[in-house]
Amino acid sequence: MNALTQRRFLKMNGLGNAITVLDLRGTKLRVSEEDARAIAAQPLAAFDQLMVLHDPRTPGTDAFIRIYNSDGSEAGACGNGTRCVAWAMMADPQMGDAALSELALETRAGLLEARRDGDWLFTVDMGAPRLGWEEIPLAEPFHDTARFELQIGPIDDPILHTPCAVNMGNPHAVFFVDDPYRFNLQQIGPLLENHPVFPDRANIELAAVTAPDHIVLRVWERGAGITQACGSGACAALVAAVRRELSARKATVSLPGGDLVIEWRERDGHVLMTGPVALEWEGLIEPAWFETAA
């Protein structure tokens, strides 16, 4: 029997971004890629990202979070998922501590700080963006990652071209367009995610800046596909828009699932993301899930 059987999980969402939270603190248990895919295949626990809580690794932090995409691959950061974890650790009756109003959470990509702003509203400090070609990473040197050479479609009439590259814990490529909804993201998303210029694959954003303080965004997430919202993608879009001198340093980013407020703070270069979360239900992991996967 799989050791995860009968472990409690929370099915949540951040603006429709499907998040499952699994608390493994106090144990030595780990989730494998196969485990993550088996859990994702179940309607009751299906996720875009699985947020797995482990005991802290670094003094002064509250937990170490492993993040899995629905294909079983690991992600370095997930803004919507981090807000869900913050709710779970502060407000869930079985998992949380109502006395907490702030958290320091460690991920593979670094430290994330979360703050509770309301019953279901949270702000996450996503840290400073990484902008160098080798930090994103890209497969070859590009002096200016705000505009780097990449296009899809005919050379003389490309469908998309010249994105901005940003790493917000995960690699992102942001294409600025007039209308993100006129593109077949289901078709072009996987082509761009797996383009050779991205050695670690990439999240793909289609962004339209409609006002200095407003961005309309659609996202193809690496390892998950089209999602209703992507917190790190919204952060990447705001950073990219500022780098292109298209927007202010604080803007509302509208995704299919709703709005996030993103600020690229000037004093320390950190990106702050504010948005809601929702709890859908809780359940227990069943042994049959892994038998079916096997």
Residue pair 276/15 in contact (Cβ under 8 Å)? The answer is: yes
Cα distance between residue 53 and residue 165, in whole Å: 29
What single letter denotes the amino acid at residue 47? Answer: F
Cα distance between residue 257 and residue 255, in whole Å: 5
Residue in the structure block whose two tokens are 């990106």:
271
Whether omega for the bond prior to residue 56 falls within 30 degrees of 0, making it cis, is no
Catalytic residue, chosen from 84, 164, 230, 235, is 230
Copy the structure tokens of residue 206.
Answer: 């289609």
Catalytic residue, chosen from 78, 84, 164, 235, is 78
Nearest Cα residue to 235 out of 271, 208, 209, 211: 271
Whether 230 is catalytic is: yes
Nearest Cα residue to 205 out of 216, 196, 214, 194: 216
Copy the structure tokens of residue 14.
Answer: 């951040």
φ, ψ of residue 85 to 5 degrees: the values are -60, -40
Alpha helices, H only, 109-215: 185-193
Known catalytic residues? 78, 230
